[in-house]
Amino acid sequence: MMDEREQAEAILSQLHRAGFFLHFHMGGRAGRCRALTVLLSCQEMPQKELQEHLAVQSGSMSELIAKLEGDGLLRKRRSGQDGRMSLLALTPAGVEEAKRAQKEEEMQRQRLLSCFTPEQRAVLCELLSVMLDHWGELGAPGVGRLSPRERRRVDGIIA
C-alpha cells in the first residue's frame, strides 16, 4: 500500500506521461490537423479568432498559416469591411485533408479510450474536471475553469 506522498508522486507521474503522449502523438495544442478541423466547421474565419481558438502566439499562427497556404490547403484574404483583418478558409484540398484528419483523430480517440467502460470514462472526465478547476483556482496558467462549450461537452459525457 502506498503512502500519501508515494501516491501523489505516482498520480503526477502518470499524468505527466499521459500529457506527454497526448501532446506529441495527438498533434500538440495547435497542430496542423487541429487548425484544419477547426476551419472545416465554418466557411471562413478571422485569423485572430483561429489564433485564439488554438491558443497560440501570433508568430506561431503566421508560421502555421504560411505552411498551410504553401501546401494549397488554405486561402487567406483581407476582409472587405476591415482591411486589417485576414480571413481564412480551406481550399477544396484543405477540406479533404481536414475530413481525413477528423476521421483519423476520431479513430485514435476511440482506440485510446477503448480500455474504459462508458461509466469509467464519465468518472475519469469528472475527476479531471475537478482537478483542472482546482489547479486553475491555484493560479496554474492555461488550466482554469472550462469554457461553456467545454462544460457542455463534459456534462454530455457525464450525464
pLDDT tens per residue across span 93-144: 999 999 998 898 889 889 999 999 999 999 999 999 899 888 888 887 766 5
- pLDDT over 90 (residue 4): yes
pLDDT confidence bin for 21, thresholds 50/70/90: confident
pLDDT at 155: 57
Contact 154, 146 (CB under 8 A): yes
Q: For the full predicted model, state whether its pTM sits above 0.85.
A: no
Instruction: Taking residues 23-51, report their average pLDDT.
Output: 82
d(CA 144, CA 132): 7
d(CA 41, CA 34): 11
Per-residue cell: 2: 502506498
**Helices H / strands E in the chain, number of each:** 7, 3
- pLDDT over 80 (residue 154): no
Give me the phi and psi of 83, to 5 degrees please: -60, -15
Contact 89, 38 (CB under 8 A): no
Contact 37, 94 (CB under 8 A): no
Q: Which residue has the cell 498520480?
A: 11
- pLDDT over 60 (residue 7): yes
Q: How do residues 38-86 score in pLDDT, each as one tens digit? A: 999 888 999 999 988 888 888 889 999 999 999 999 999 988 787 788 8
Give me the phi and psi of 87, to 5 degrees please: -110, 140
pLDDT at 22: 83
pLDDT at 30: 53
pLDDT confidence bin for 152, thresholds 50/70/90: low
pLDDT at 115: 96
